[in-house]
Amino acid sequence: MARIVVGLDASSGSKAALAWAAGEARLRQAVLQVVYAFHARELAAPEYVPTEHGLVGGGVNPALDGYDAAAVAAPDMSATLQDRTRYEELARNTAAELLGSALYEQRDALDGVEVERVVIDDRHPAEALVEASNDADLLVVGSRGRGGFKQLLLGSVSHAVVQHATCPVVVVPARREG
């Protein structure tokens, strides 16, 4: 049986790609694998580990001489790591909710199509989609994601999958407003 992979994020371009891929999956009687990939660790605040120069009394500010650097509390790394773990879990839950919401919005287009939901954590979206292309008959992405360079025709993910996917790729442009 044929398999079509479509990359999804919160952009209008990926929603257009999902709608197009659903129609193609119906025509070809293919399984539609909807992939949402993200880096929770990149989304979370980086770990902060100050150097001795970042602490009071570290010798970088002569006006602060007289403070004992050893008396300054070291950062509580366990609390930082717990916060980071909670944030990563929140990111995973948000990804699953976003995927479910997008599929619900396209429920009419997806009627009669076998859909596989895939959330991939700790992978760059382009890397995850290129890997998914190894077993796919077709890979579908939107032309522009959520990146900041709106004047570019292709976003970084769509550009990467066009260059590196091992199956045919369809890039669906977002609808222009106005």
pLDDT tens per residue, range 25-62: 999 999 999 999 987 655 555 555 555 555 554 445 55
What sign for the dihedral angle of Cα 121, 124, 126, 131? Answer: negative
Adjacency order of strands within the sheet including 169-172: 115-121, 31-38, 3-7, 138-142, 169-172
pLDDT score for 69: 52
CATH code assigned at 85: 3.40.50.620
In percent, how much of the chain has pLDDT > 90? 45
pLDDT score for 163: 94
Alpha carbon distance 103, 69 (integer Å)? 55
The reply to whether 66 falls in a domain is: no
Alpha carbon distance 54, 80 (integer Å)? 17
The reply to whether 69 falls in a domain is: no
Q: Is the confidence at residue 174, as pLDDT, over 80? A: no
The reply to whether 68 falls in a domain is: no
pTM exceeding the 0.85 threshold for the entire prediction: no
Beta carbons within 8 Å of 122's beta carbon, 6+ residues apart: 39, 40, 41
The reply to whether 55 falls in a domain is: no
The reply to whether 160 falls in a domain is: yes
Alpha carbon distance 105, 122 (integer Å)? 26
Task: Tell me the pLDDT band of 178, cut-offs 50, 70 and 90.
Answer: very low
- Model pLDDT for residues 84-125, shown as the tens digit of each residue: 778 778 888 888 899 999 999 999 999 999 999 999 988 889
The reply to whether 135 falls in a domain is: yes
Both tokens of residue 85?
């773990």
The reply to whether 30 falls in a domain is: yes
Domain containing 105 equals 3-47+76-172
The reply to whether 90 falls in a domain is: yes
pLDDT score for 39: 74
Domains identified in the chain, total number = 1
Beta carbons within 8 Å of 178's beta carbon, 6+ residues apart: none
